[in-house]
Chain A
Amino acid sequence: MLTKRIIPCLDIKNGRTVKGVNFVDLRDAGDPVELAEIYAQTGADELVFLDISATEERRKTLADLVLRVAEKVNIPFTVGGGISSIEDVDILLQNGADKVSINSSAVKNPQLINDLAAKFGSQCVVVAIDAKNIDGNWVVHLVGGKVPTELNLFDWAKEVEKRGAGEILFTSMDNDGTKDGFANEALAKLSTELNIPIIASGGAGSIQHFTDTFKDGKADAALAASVFHFKEIEIRDLKEELKTNGIPVRL
């Protein structure tokens, strides 16, 4: 049976992890490669690297990082942040990334999704969508949730599926950072109305939240950052508990 995936997310700035991490066994707490290796060894199913740097050299730094990760890590990983062209994607995939995640660039230029799917295949195109529930309407936001668009979450999600996205990474801005659980109602609607995998993001605070997002939110995968980085939740414990609750996982 296909298992539900647990995905730690690493924020990267100039080739280094940004959010503090609480791994005493790390020699270099800012080294994304070392952290990625530890996650791969301790049961993570996949990794996401999100580049938030804004320098001129970002492309090269990110491409170098991807190469270093691919050299060490034996599980799949996705790279996102500032990707806006076929050339960007080409170098990242060539260097060993399995998938790329696009967000603002897809909203600004939806044709990019078609072009990437045609050139590299849908399986490596993840469209990340950040949305906020405003008076009952889930509004897509850009720039880390700062800038609202005209787009409705569900309409946009269906459009990206039609254009060839292989997966959707949905972050609820209302839940992100709250540690109060994932936006399961919206997730379940996405999962039911679309026929591609949905990754839940934003709100993870406890093991129960993961159980809920797989059961109630019908998510195919769940992504979190700080609960893993600060060891509030160990991935092995999380997976044992999910298994006890009848959710298929890889142990």
Chain B
Amino acid sequence: MKIVIINYGAGNIQSIKFAIKRLGFEAVLTDDVNEILAADKVIFPGVGEASSAMSKLRASGLDTLIPTLKQPVLGICLGMQLMCNASEEGETKGLGIFNVDVVKFSNKVKVPQIGWNEISNLTTNLFNKVKEKSHIYMVHSFYAPVTNETIAKSNYDVDYSAALQKNNFYGTQFHPEKSSEVGEQILRNFLEM
């Protein structure tokens, strides 16, 4: 199985690579269009600020490639947010895969949300063998509200999308690569799709 992690200079990529390695697979880090197109699974990572990450994607032309991919694609954290229509962070236009706008948490709660929160209302194969109310690790200031593409919910001040899915595209707001055994199961589920 050929797994690629899209390299566009954003995020904690090493941890994702290692997490995949712990599951017995190897992932290649690349920004090469043909290599991405030929992959069985594509991981779209992201940590940092939305508008600068989006500019990097545009500079490499990956912004037009990603929405056309046919194999399973998993966006993680900012990667998931960039797959949405837009983000309030830096007034950023996203890839438009998920039909939802990313907004900021209100001041009623501490921002960023940092730590382990619960996920519930789990659907799709991504959450095979994952129990309702499992804990996963979240670090973020912006969130995607709940929509009909939501496949896992979490709550921090409001209910929001812990994960989204549309066709072959999946996105998790949390970091499966940092979410202990639960995260490993979710990554394994993705790789086995």
Q: Chain B contacts of A40 at CB under 8 A?
A: 180
Q: Which among B13, B156, B178, B181 is the interface contact of A2 at CB below 8 angstroms?
A: B156
Task: Give residues of chain A (123-181) contacting chain B, Cβ–Cβ below 8 Å.
Answer: 123-124, 166-167
Task: Give residues of chain A (208-228) contacting chain B, Cβ–Cβ below 8 Å.
Answer: 220-221
A123 touches B139 (CB 8 A): yes
A121 touches B117 (CB 8 A): no
Counting chain A residues whose Cβ lies within 8 A of the other chain, the interface size class is: 35 or more
B178 touches A74 (CB 8 A): yes
B135 touches A71 (CB 8 A): no
B120 smallest CB distance to A (angstroms): 11
A197 in contact with B110 given A121-B47, A123-B140 (CB within 8 Å): yes
What secondary structure prevails in chain A residues at the interface with B? loop
B15 touches A123 (CB 8 A): no
Q: Which among A95, A97, A121, A196 is the interface contact of B110 at CB below 8 angstroms?
A: A196
What secondary structure prevails in chain B residues at the interface with A? mixed
Q: Chain B contacts of A93 at CB under 8 A?
A: 12
B114 touches A167 (CB 8 A): yes
Q: Which among A3, A67, A72, A120 is the interface contact of B135 at CB below 8 angstroms?
A: A3
Q: Provide the bound-state CA to CA distance between A70 and B18, in Å.
A: 7
Q: Chain B contacts of A97 at CB under 8 A?
A: 12
Task: Give residues of chain B (139-193) contacting chain A, Cβ–Cβ below 8 Å.
Answer: 139-141, 155-156, 175, 177-181, 183-184
A187 smallest CB distance to B (angstroms): 14
A96 touches B12 (CB 8 A): yes
A95 touches B112 (CB 8 A): no
When each residue 1-45 of chain A gets 1 if its CB lies under 8 Å from chain B and 0 otherwise, what string results? Answer: 111110000000000000000000000000000000000100001
When each residue 74-109 of chain A gets 1 if its CB lies under 8 Å from chain B and 0 otherwise, what string results? Answer: 111000000000000000011111100000000000
Q: Provide the bound-state CA to CA distance between A36 and B14, in Å.
A: 18
B73 smallest CB distance to A (angstroms): 22
A245 close to chain B: CB less than 8 A? no
B114 touches A123 (CB 8 A): yes
A250 close to chain B: CB less than 8 A? yes
Most buried by A among B14, B22, B138, B177: B14
Q: Which of B's residues lie within 8 Å of A, judged by CB?
A: 12-15, 18-19, 21-22, 47-49, 107, 110-118, 135, 137-141, 155-156, 175, 177-181, 183-184
Q: List 10 A-B contacts (CB under 8 A).
A: A1-B118, A1-B155, A2-B138, A3-B116, A67-B14, A72-B18, A75-B137, A121-B47, A121-B48, A196-B112
Question: When A and B form their complex, which 10 residue pairs have the shortest distance between CB atoms, in order from nearest?
Answer: A96-B14, A250-B135, A121-B48, A250-B116, A123-B139, A96-B15, A76-B178, A3-B116, A71-B18, A2-B117
Starting from the known contacts A4-B115, A120-B48, 11 additional A-B residue pairs (CB-CB under 8 Å) come to: A2-B156, A71-B18, A94-B13, A96-B12, A98-B139, A121-B48, A121-B49, A167-B114, A195-B110, A196-B112, A197-B112
